[in-house]
Amino acid sequence: MITPIEAQARIADLSKQINYHNFLYYQEDRTEISDFEFDKLLEELIQLERQFPEYLEPDSPSQRVGGAITKEFETAEHQSRMLSLGNTYSEEELLAFDERVAKGLEHRNYEYFCELKFDGVAISLVYENGKLIGAVTRGDGTRGDVVTENIKTIRNIPLRIHGENIPEKFEVRGEIFLPLREFNKINQEREENGDTLLANPRNAASGTVKMQDSSIVAKRRLNCYFYQLIGSELSVNSHDEAIHLIEKWGFNVSPTYAKCESIREVLSYIEDWKEKRFDLPLETDGVVLKINNYDQREELGFTAKIPKWAIAYKYKAESVESQLLSITYQVGRTGAITPVANLSPVHLAGTTVKRASLHNANEIERLELHEGDTVFVEKGGEIIPKITAVSTTKRKVGAKPIQYIDHCPECSTPLERNEGEAKHFCPNAANCPPQILGRIEHFVHKRAMDIDSMGTERIRTLIDQRYIENPADIYDLEEIQDQLLGLEMSQDQYQKTDDGILYISLTKSFFALTEGISLTAIQKFCEGQMEIPLEKILENFKSFIRTSNKKVAQNIATIAKLEKVLQSSGIPKLEDYLPVSVVLYLLVGNQANLEELKAAAQHEGTVHGIMLKMKLNLTGEQEERIKKLKANTFQEGVISNMIEGINASKSQSFEKVIFALGIRNIGENTAQILAKHFKTIDALSNACSEDLLAVNGVGETLVNSIQDYFSEKANLVMIQRLREKGLNFKVTETEKELLGNSLQGMKILASGKLNHFKRDEIIDFIEANGGQYLKAVSKGLDFIIEGEDMGPSKKEKAQKLGIKMISEEEFLSMVGKTIET
C-alpha cells in the first residue's frame, strides 16, 4: 500500500511529467513518449487522486480529461463586447487606413503591432484570483455560450496562473483552432472508416468547442493562440507589453508577431508571410494590424462595430489554373474508393501541385467535371489542394463528362454504395489487394501491434508472393524464415507475358552473366541501345566487353553462348528483356536443363521463386552470380528483426489488439473503451446491441461495424489463429496487483542469468511495477537488464541498436528495492 506521503510525492511527480509532455507537444511540436504511455501516466494520476482526494490540485492535468456532459450551454454576457475587425484586400486600402490613423492622431508617431489572422473560433477566458473561472464563445459579440468544461480540456490553457502581481481579475481573448496535422489525421481516419469528412479546420474547431461530451473534446487536440488582454488594473500601456505579459503567465502566443514602425514595414510583413504562412500549424487568412499604444487606441476610438485602431488585411486565396489529366481511384483499407485528380503541374503557394482531392462521386458531379477540363486549384491548409471550379469556357468541344467507375480498379469487383454514404466501396474485402495490404499495414502499425521492420514494400512483397494474406499469417513467418532469405522486393525488372513466360531486363541479365563490369557501366551501355534489335544489341555488347578490358575472353564466350541458346530455345523475343529460364540456364551450368527451368519459370514471378522450386545444389560462385540477377532482397538482418518484432508484438495489450484488427470505425480510443468494458474478445464478440449501446461512446454505426465484423467466419478463424499464437485477447495489466509505478511505460528485456529472479519472476516483477516486458531485442526497448553470460549475439544487436544495458543491481535500485543477498 502506498502511504499518503508517497502518494503526494507521486502525484506531484506525475503532474510534472504530464505537464512536461503537454508542453513538448504544444510548444515544441514534438513528443518523447507514445499516446499510450501518456495515457498510462494520466490514468495513474487519476487513480491516485481518487484514492487521496486531499492531494487533488485544481490545476492538476487530470482536470483536462473531460467527462462533463452539457445538454444545453448556458450563455453569459461579455464584460466588453467582442468586436469584429474591418477588412482590407489591397495595398491601397491599407494605405488609406493608415492615412485615417495619421489624421485621427494628428501625427505619424505611432507603431503597428502585426499578427497573423488565425482562422478558428474566438474565445474569451476570465480569470479570478489566478484561476480560470469561465470560458465563453464570441456568440453575437455581446453574449456567448459558456463552454468552460470543454475549454479546460485543452492541455495548454492555464487553469491557474502562478507568479507575482497577478491582477485579481482579468480576461484574455484568443482563437481556438484545430491544428492542421490533427485535422488531416482525423479526416484520414474518417476516410478510412468511410465516415463523412470534416469540411475544414475552422468548422471542426467550432463544432468541437460546442460538443456535449467534454471527454470527446479532450481527445481532439484543440489548441489556442491568445492575442488580447483585458482588465482594469493592468500594469501595461501597450499591446506588446500585454503580449509579453500573457506569454509570461503561460498563455500560448503565436511567435509570428512583429512590431512595425510604419505602414511600409507592415506591407513587408504581409509580403513576408504570404507564402510562409502555409508552413504554420494552422490555417490563417490574413494579417491583423493594431496600433500598439493603448492611449493612442483610445484617442482613435471605435465606429459602431469595429475599432478604428485595428484592421485586417485578407490574403487573396491564391487560385491557379491547371489541366485535368486523369483521375486515379484509390482503394483504402476498408475498401472505400477515393478519386484523386491528376493535374498538369502548377506552382501554387510555394509548392508544385500535381494532384487534387475529389473526395467522392458527389464532388465530381458538383463540379460537373469533364475529361481534359481546365480547373481552378486552391490550397487551404490541407495536405492536398482542392479543385474549386471548372472553366466551362475553356472546355474542349465534345469533351465527355467524367463517368464514375463502377468496378474496383484493383480487383474488378462491382462497387457498392450504402444509402446515405458518400463513398463507393469495394465489397471484396478478403481478396482485393490494396485492402489486404491496408489491413496488414494497419495491423503492424506503430500504434497497433508495433511490428518493426515491416514497411509497405516488404509487406507488399510478402503478399505478392503469397506468403501472407491476413494478419494471422504474419505469425507463421518464423517457421518459413529460411525461404524468405533472398526474397526479391521490387519486381520492376521482370515482365510476364500472358502465356506465362517470365522475362528479366537486359541490364540485370548482362550484369549477372559477365564478371568485373559494374552495374552502372552496363546501365549506361543499355541506355544507348534503345530501339535496336536484340541480335544487334548482343553484337554491340560484345564490342563493349572488348573495350572494358575486364575478363574479355570469358565474358565474350558467355554472350556467344547466350546467342546460341536463345536461338535454339525458340522462346519469343521481348524488346529489352531476356527469358529468365535462358539466363539461369547459363548461370547454373549443368545443374539443370533448360526445359526444367522453363517449366519452373512458368509458375513463378521471380528468380528467387524459381530457385526455391528447383532446389539445386549450387556452388558459392553460382550463388553469387544469381544474387546479381535478383532485385533488392530480404537480408538476414531484416528477417531476424522482423521475426523479433513479430514475437515482441505478442505482448501488446488487448486494446492494441482490438485496434489492430482494423474493425471499421474502431479507432484507438474506441478500442481502449471496448477493451476496458468487455475485458475479453469473447465478451465483445458475443455482446448484443443493447450491451454495446450501453457503453459510453458507442453508437449505432459502431454496433453495426462490430456485429458485421464478428459475423464474418473468416474473421473468427483469423482471431482463433492469432489466439493460438499467443496474442492478448483479454485484459491482463489491470488484473495484476501493482507493486509500484517506477517502471511505468517502460519496455524492458532481461537477458542472461539473474541472481534475484527466475525467468517468470522477472516478467511478473516488471509488469507489477508498471513496465512492459518484451520478448526480443528491438528498437522499442528502453533498456536491457544484463544478467550473467548474456548471449553475445543479443549483446551485439543491443549495442548496434544503441539500447541501454544496466546491471541487475542498477535495476533493483531503480525500482527502489534492496533485496537481501
Name the residues annotated as catalytic. 117
Distance of closest approach, residue 254 Cβ to ligand IVH, in angstroms: 8
Query: Smallest distance from the beta carbon of 118 to ligand IVH, in angstroms?
Result: 4
Burial category of 694 from C-beta neighbours within 10 Å (exposed 0-12, middle 13-18, buried 19 and up): exposed
361 forms part of the interface with ligand IVH (CB under 6 A): no
Distance CA 301, CA 308 (A): 6
The per-residue DSSP string of 666-735 comes to --HHHHHHHHHHH-BHHHHHH--HHHHHTSTT--HHHHHHHHHHHH-HHHHHHHHHHHHTT---B--GGG
| Site for ligand IVH contains 289 (CB under 6 A) | no
Kindly tell me which of 226 and 757 has the beta carbon lying closer to ligand IVH.
Answer: 226
User: Residue 801 in contact with residue 782, Cβ under 8 Å?
Assistant: no
How many Cα atoms sit within 13 Å of 763 on the Cβ side?
8
Positive or negative, the Cα torsion across 459, 464, 467, 472? Answer: positive
The residue within the footprint of ligand IVH, chosen from 45, 205, 266, 310 (CB under 6 A), is 310
Note whether 83 binds ligand IVH by CB under 6 A.
yes
**Cβ–Cβ < 8 Å for 451, 474:** yes
Q: Is 253 in the site for ligand IVH (CB under 6 A)?
A: no
Query: Which window, 77-85, 157-165, 716-724, 728-736, contacts ligand IVH (CB under 6 A)?
Result: 77-85
User: Residue 485: CB partners within 8 Å, gap ≥ 6?
Assistant: 633, 634, 635, 636, 639
Instruction: Candidates 307, 409, 667, 752: give the one binding ligand IVH (CB under 6 A).
Output: 307
Torsions phi, psi for 773 (to 5 deg): -95, 125
Give the dihedral of Cα atoms 748, 753, 754, 758; nearest 10 deg.
Answer: 90
Residue 97 or residue 118: which is nearer to ligand IVH going by CB? 118
Residue 817 has what DSSP assignment? Answer: -
- Kindly write out the interface string for residues 164-193 of this chain, putting x where it contacts ligand IVH by CB under 6 A and - elsewhere: -----------x------------------
Q: Which is nearer to ligand IVH, 22 or 228 (CB)?
A: 228
Site for ligand IVH contains 229 (CB under 6 A) = no
Q: Is 104 in the site for ligand IVH (CB under 6 A)?
A: no
Q: Tell which positions 134-153 bind ligand IVH, by CB under 6 A.
A: 138
534 binds ligand IVH (CB under 6 A): no
| 475 is an interface residue for ligand IVH by CB under 6 A | no
Work out which of 84, 330, 568, 619 binds ligand IVH, going by CB under 6 A.
Answer: 84
Shortest separation between residue 315's beta carbon and ligand IVH, angstroms: 13
Q: Which is nearer to ligand IVH, 134 or 307 (CB)?
A: 307
Q: In the complex, what is the shortest distance from the CB of residue 114 to ligand IVH, in angstroms, rounded to a whole number?
A: 9
Stretch that binds ligand IVH, among 83-91, 293-301, 359-367, 519-527 (CB under 6 A): 83-91
Rounded to the nearest 10°, the torsion over CA 660, 63, 255, 258 is 150
Determine the Cα–Cα distance for residues 66 and 219; give it in Å rounded to an integer: 9
203 binds ligand IVH (CB under 6 A): no
**Binder among 186, 288, 337, 766 for ligand IVH (CB under 6 A):** 288
Nearest CB to ligand IVH, comparing residues 312 and 600: 312
Tell me which residue of 27, 21, 148 sits closest to 76, measured CA to CA: 148
Q: Report d(CA 231, CA 127) in Å as an integer.
A: 10
224 near ligand IVH (CB under 6 A): no
25, 26, 118, 475: which one contacts ligand IVH (CB under 6 A)?
118
Strand partners, 338: 330
> Which of 11, 41, 76, 122 is close enough to bind ligand IVH by CB under 6 A?
122
Rule CB under 6 A: is residue 85 a binding residue for ligand IVH? yes
Query: Cα dist. 647→29, 445, 660, 775 in Å?
Result: 32, 15, 15, 7
- Residue (115 or 786) nearer to ligand IVH, CB: 115
Contact residues: ligand IVH, CB under 6 A: 83-85, 115, 117-118, 122, 138, 175, 227-228, 288, 307, 310, 312
